Chain A
Amino acid sequence: GIQVEQSPPDLILQEGANSTLRCNFSDSVNNLQWFHQNPWGQLINLFYIPSGTKQNGRLSATTVATERYSLLYISSSQTTDSGVYFCAVPLTNAGKSTFGDGTTLTVKP
C-alpha cells in the first residue's frame, strides 16, 4: 500500500518563526489532507490538497503530485500552533486510509 513519510518528526520553534513540514508519499494519489491535532486531542482539518497550493491565514500548503510530496508552511508561528501535524491519504485507490507518523511541533513563547 501507499507509504506516507513525514519530516521532521519533531520541531521546536520560537514564537514568530517560520517552518516547513514535509510529506512524501510512495505512489500517485488523488486525495491528500493535512490535519492538526491540538494538545486536547482534536483532529482539525487544515487542508484538503491533492494538488496545487492553498492558503489559509498564516498556513499554506503545496502538493506536487507528480513528484509525490506535499509541504505545509507555517509562518509567524504562535504557541497555539503547537501539536502534531499529520499528512494523510484519506482514501487510496485500494480503499485504504494511510496516515503519516506526524510532526510534533512545539512553539515556545
Chain B
Amino acid sequence: DARVTQTPRHKVTEMGQEVTMRCQPILGHNTVFWYRQTMMQGLELLAYFRNRAPLDDSGMPKDRFSAEMPDATLATLKIQPSEPRDSAVYFCASGLGTGLGGLFFGEGSRLTVL
C-alpha cells in the first residue's frame, strides 16, 4: 500500500532549537509539496519540488526555513531557529509532476515550539 511517510509524527521543542522534518514520497512520484496547517491560516503551501529541484518556496519564511531533497526518496524541511509561531502541523504530499492523479498526503508532523 503506497503511502507518503513523515517523521516525526510529533515534536515538542524549545524556542531557538533546530527542527528537521522528513518525508518519504510515494515511489515514482516526482513532485513533493510541503504544507503548513494552523487554525488561523488553514493550509499554506510552503515549498514544492519537481524532480528534486525546488520550483517554488515563496510561501516559506526564508530566514529560518529551508527545504531540500537530498535524493528522490527523501525531502526535508528544517527550521532554525524555531519560534513559538512555528507551532503547526506540517504536511508533506507527493504526486506526479503534471498534477494528474492528484496529491497524496502524509499523516503530518505536529510541531509544538515552547
Cβ of B16 < 8 Å from any Cβ of A? no
Residue of A43, A44, A48 near B91 (CB, 8 A) is A43
Q: Which of B2-55 contact A (CB under 8 A)?
A: 31, 33, 35, 42-43, 45, 48, 55
Decide: A95 and B55 in contact? CB cutoff 8 A.
yes
Chain A residues contacting B104 (CB-CB under 8 Å) are 45
For chain B, give the interface size range. 20 to 34
Q: Which of B61-114 contact A (CB under 8 A)?
A: 89, 91, 93, 95, 98-105, 107-108, 110
CA distance A9 to B81 in the complex (A): 36
CA distance A91 to B95 in the complex (A): 10
Nearest neighbor of A33 in chain B, beta-carbon distance? B102
Chain A residues contacting B105 (CB-CB under 8 Å) are 35, 42-45
Decide: A102 and B42 in contact? CB cutoff 8 A.
yes
Residue of B35, B98, B101 near A48 (CB, 8 A) is B101
Contact A96:B100 (CB < 8 A) given known A41-B108, A91-B95: no
Report the count of interface residues on A (CB-CB < 8 A). 20
CA distance A93 to B103 in the complex (A): 15
Cβ of A19 < 8 Å from any Cβ of B? no
Decide: B102 and A31 in contact? CB cutoff 8 A.
yes
Contact A31:B108 (CB < 8 A) given known A43-B91, A96-B56, A101-B42: no
Cβ of A97 < 8 Å from any Cβ of B? yes
Chain B residues contacting A71 (CB-CB under 8 Å) are none
Chain A residues contacting B43 (CB-CB under 8 Å) are 86, 99
Chain A residues contacting B33 (CB-CB under 8 Å) are 97
Nearest neighbor of A101 in chain B, beta-carbon distance? B42
Cβ of A88 < 8 Å from any Cβ of B? yes
The chain B residues found within 8 Å of chain A, CB to CB, are 31, 33, 35, 42-43, 45, 48, 55-56, 89, 91, 93, 95, 98-105, 107-108, 110
